[in-house]
Amino acid sequence: MVLVAGASLACFGETLWQATPLTKEKEFTAGIEGPAVDRDGNIYAVSFARTPTIGKITPEGRGEVWIEFTNGTLANGIRFNRAGTMFVADYARHNILEIDPKTKAVRVLAHDATMNQPNDIALMASGRIYASDPDWKNNSGQVWVVEPTGSIRKVAPNMGTTNGIEVAPDEKTLYVNESVQRNIWAFDIQNDGSVTNKRLLIRFPDFGMDGMRCDVDGNLYVARYGKGTVVVVSPAGKVIREIALPGKNPSNVCFGGPDGRTVYVTEVEHTQLVQFRASRPGREWKMIH
């Protein structure tokens, strides 16, 4: 069933699917991206106050610069593992970074000079990382896999503008979207990290796409850049609902809150974090808890 965008649903005395701002407008720059939530419920997103930074935002919406890069690094996608280690796509220097949450020491986990600009990342329980790598100039892209050892290899060449990327809850399927072509593809994940059996999950007729994350049931929450919504797509490729946002350019989403059912959205038009409550927790939230 498709619900009207912005419609709310009361569940156990709370309102679901109704987006509201978490932070004030213009606390971030137009590079606002990320986002990811640590085990304490804090939200991290890039370009807080200025670029190049990662900001730390409390669940109440209070923000501060958590780290500022001085070596040319430009961060984009962020993820956390269960130990609390942060992983970051550094699109300017062709790296996947590993950051110690206590010391903020930054280490290059993986590097490949032939990357275009690693954009978003998806993390598996084993520590394996998949990274999207768009070439915006040529409307093309590819996907890389990074093992916990730091070894890196290309697993999906010759794609469209690869952007949002996510792993299904059973870790058997990799989802990759193409922003310009408006496709979401599904692949089978093999034991060695390679991906096979590319198939179209859904194609949208208009607007773009950016980041996306799964809930524990495998539904994809997809940022519809330009449309100002987050669309929820089932594992069968059907639109379940669409949530209207107070801004037309959402760039990415993540799950957090005390029960994993708060969805945080980085929104570029107003350069702020937006939030809404969902009915089910996020895949990654459950994984790190």
Active site residue ranges? 210
Q: How far apart are CA 66 and CA 64, in angstroms?
A: 6
The CA distance from 236 to 27, in Å, is 38
Cis check: omega of the bond before 52, within 30 degrees of 0: yes
Answer yes or no: are the C-beta atoms of 8 and 18 closer than 8 Å. Answer: yes
Encoded tokens for 187: 């692949």
Q: Are 140 and 119 in contact (CB under 8 A)?
A: no
Where would I find the beta strands (DSSP E) of 62-103?
A: 63-68, 75-80, 86-90, 95-99
DSSP letters spanning 266-284: EETTTTEEEEEE-SS-BHH
